[in-house]
Chain A
């Protein structure tokens, strides 16, 4: 088991290194940015793609899951831009890692700066931790060419929802995009993040969206990942939560062949609150990994984490959640729950809900369950004359909808219900 393996560089790893050498000169940013990029790539050269011997990647071995690397995207390809999910939403569109629309007609108090400019003047940075588990962030930082900084001014309450669209064209490229969202002090915003590609297209992408939530600010985020059935999706959602801020994040996963999304939340000010929920619906041979880190660095913060997964066919769903409570972070309340339903004989589920606690005056708990649809519940519905397929759908719907509870009476609740309904319907029709 502990026999030292000699690392052989895979074709995919070689391709990444070679393409970096090729494009490095042409990537935007000041001297520091370039140094950061090279530092990130040096780590990649040493460690390669994350594999199962790295604890945080135990269940998503990219070395075996990503055999080939698509060529780097050099410009936005052609694809249709879908209508916004909420009628009045302002769309900011990124295709293959390049911003194509959204910089005009922004709601009042909202500004958009191209990432290029922010990197040049040092307001955005690509530095990061030099550890092998931060592979998504590192890969993205090394290659990212375009993206934006979205700022919501202090005290502004943005009524219009803002939709951040990340589309992949049919170009079959490896694309990288980065969005920094700054929610000013006492500001509030509603943001929808959508990741879309078409079925049958082996696109690869990395997206890092990092949210800095200011003091007393209020943020609602709905992230919908509905990539095509051949896509590889690597995502990171970073959340920096200042004092007395309130943040809600719901992540719906319904697509991609291989997906790994890391949510990294850090409480940096006292009295903040975070509610994270996840709804994962996978079938066929999909592999979906939701990894969550919640760092309670300061006292008096609360967080809840609720994850629901339905796994059918030969799909595999992974949930890794880690709540860390630092030594001085007293009076923290953190509750994590992860529930999975396996619908077929060949489905796989992995849950690893971790608690790492160094403070004594806290209340932390986690629960995990895994099983099939409860036979008693089925029987109850069948006995009342509801056909088997419908009964099943009802129960799944009820199970998954619990994930949307953090958005009770918010327009996002209905959007989540719709996404669940759509998946269940198309899934039943196959």
Chain B
């Protein structure tokens, strides 16, 4: 069991500070004035030289937002956030607009290297010296598979997107959303807000008003994206809210696998992250969206950490399309997200695989929504929650079958594992069926690592830490297997780190 061994070693290495991404990058930043008002929205829009329709769209959202109240139904507790005390726009001064790698501030590249994402190296290894120069791989596009194209988002802006040219050869558009607004306005206009409407919820509306950047992906008809696409989000500046917006469109018969990673510096204050992700799958298309969320979770006493309030929704708009969400949630002081699938087309498939690990004083209220509208739609939910320390972990999931969704099928399994007696694990499923031909199944369990399991491992010579790591890795195996290869090993390690100090 090399992964388990590695987990143990990694945990040992990290002595005091468990969160290894907690450093801060010292870089010249440009901020918009603090506060939320019409001027700020206009400022952000002007900064990105957006067309009038988008400025109006943002202002509409702001107007709507001002009439809304903070939702309180989730099982998370946090003080009121003073939205007027936040910066809504923060960008490294050196990067205005997307550029080639060579022009990117070396400080930024170093940051991503430290995070384990060597943007430049990756390109050079792949034979792409400069974005403008012809790549050696031009004639052998097949060898691109197994590589990952990265869109790196630093606070409010996308600093660089790699492999753009190579992807363009397949007709794939992969760029920051602010760039897409200019280069592909028709696509943005058509799909933006079509899955998560402006008025969807408090944080989504706020995002619609002030979103700064994010990724845009368009996979043309019949194209199977040759490599994994990924976005790496980094919050760096203080008192800044991060509001990114991701829009992924998979046209008829296409396929794309998309990864998302997030980290932030360690600070005593809480920072707000309110993103919106919209996925659209047309006929026969498939989108696989994986997230490894590792925002700074705050210290053991619950000081600091990211408030992660995210709206993620996929729309299986075309028949026979498929959207699959896989998430590993280890970070954030508070997680409040429900990646959902609207199964609109007939014969569509929605999947949700989740591992949520909470330690310290973290609070997680996460789950999914599967909304069956079309005929013969099926969905599958596997959620594994692990709570340790003084944390609270809640699974909240909705399975809804509309009147016309004949032969809809759902299977839900959510298991919770409690480590220690000061934590809580909760399961709140909502099952609503309006069709007699729909078959829905739900099962949930809550338990701790049993003495029998521990005894079995210990008497075979494993120590307590190793035994827990082994059992936990086994507990989440169903979900781990759904992760792309690159993330799997990383995640296994992450699980070990997140649970450090919770044993014994």
Whether B429 is near chain A, meaning CB under 8 Å from some CB there, is yes
Across chains A and B, the number of contacting residue pairs, with CB separation under 8 Å, is 132
- Asked if residues A363 and B447 are in contact (CB atoms below 8 Å), the reply is yes
Q: Mark A340-368, 1 if CB is under 8 A from B, else 0.
A: 10111111111111111111111111111
Tell me the bound Cα distance from A180 to B455 in angstroms: 49
Contact of A4 with B by CB under 8 A: yes
Q: Tell whether, in the assembled complex, residue A1 and residue B422 are in contact, meaning their CB atoms are under 8 Å apart.
A: no
Given contacts A352-B430, A360-B419, A361-B448, A370 and B439 within 8 Å (CB-CB): yes
| A354-B201 contact, Cβ under 8 Å, with A365-B446, A368-B440, A369-B442 | no
Q: Mark B156-168, 1 if CB is under 8 A from A, else 0.
A: 0000000000000
B interface: dominant SS: strand
Residue of A nearest to B444 (CB): A366
Contact A2 B439 (CB under 8 A): no
When chains A and B are docked, how far (Å) is the Cα of A363 from the Cα of B449? 11
Contact A357 B425 (CB under 8 A): yes
Q: Which B residues lie within 8 Å of A355 (CB)? A: 416, 425-427, 444, 446
Q: Are the CB atoms of A359 and B421 closer together than 8 Å?
A: yes
Contact assessment for A4 and B443 in the assembled complex, using a CB-CB cutoff below 8 Å: no
The answer to whether A327 has its CB under 8 Å from any CB of chain B is yes
Asked whether B431 lies within 8 Å of A351 as measured between CB atoms, the reply is yes
B428 and A357 within 8 A (CB): no
Interface check A25, CB cutoff 8 A? no
Beta-carbon contacts of B388-411 to A below 8 Å, as 1s and 0s? 000000000000000100000000
Q: How many residues of A contact B (CB 8 A)?
A: 39
A52 to B444, CA, bound (A): 26
Interface centre among B67, B68, B425 (most CB of A within 10 A): B425
Q: How far is the CA of A388 from the CA of B442 in the complex (A)?
A: 30
Q: Which of A2, A352, A364, A367 contacts B71 (CB 8 A)?
A: A2
Interface: B282 (CB within 8 A):
no
Asked if A303 CB lies within 8 Å of chain B CBs, one says no
Assess whether A365 is in contact with B403, with CB atoms less than 8 Å apart.
no
Contact A2 B202 (CB under 8 A): yes
Quote the shortest CB–CB distance from A362 to chain B (angstroms): 7
Among B64, B427, B436, B442, find the residue whose CB has the most chain A CB atoms closer than 10 A: B436
Whether A345 lies near B443 (C-beta < 8 A) is: no
Query: Bound complex: CA of A343 vs CA of B446, how far in Å?
Result: 32
Q: When chains A and B are docked, how far (Å) is the Cα of A55 from the Cα of B75?
A: 12
- Classify chain B's interface size: 35 or more
Q: Report whether B69 and A352 are in contact in the complex, using a CB–CB cutoff of 8 Å.
A: no
Residue of B nearest to A53 (CB): B73
Residue A24 is within 8 A (CB to CB) of chain B in the complex: no
B432 interface contact, C-beta 8 A: yes
Q: Are A369 and B446 in contact (CB under 8 A)?
A: no
**Chain A residue with minimal CB distance to B449?**
A360
0/1 interface trace, chain B 423-465, chain A, CB 8 Å (1 if under) = 1111111111111111111111111100000000000000000
A80 CB to nearest B CB, Å: 38
Q: How far apart are B76's CB and chain A's nearest CB, in angstroms?
A: 14
Chain B residue at minimal CB-CB distance from A58: B430
Say yes or no: A352-B434 contact (C-beta < 8 A), given A1-B199, A357-B424.
Answer: no
Task: Check A354–B426 contact: CB distance below 8 A.
Answer: yes
A371 at the interface (CB under 8 A from B): yes
Whether A206 sits at the interface, judged by CB under 8 Å, is no
A205 at the A/B interface (Cβ < 8 Å)? no
Could you write out 30 A-B pairs with CB less than 8 Å apart?
Answer: A2-B69, A2-B201, A4-B67, A4-B68, A55-B73, A344-B436, A345-B403, A347-B436, A350-B430, A351-B442, A352-B430, A353-B444, A354-B426, A354-B428, A356-B424, A357-B418, A358-B423, A359-B421, A360-B418, A360-B423, A361-B448, A362-B446, A362-B448, A363-B446, A366-B442, A367-B442, A369-B439, A369-B442, A370-B431, A372-B437
Q: Lowest 8 CB-CB distances: which A-B pairs, in order?
A: A342-B436, A360-B418, A368-B442, A371-B439, A351-B431, A355-B427, A370-B440, A360-B448
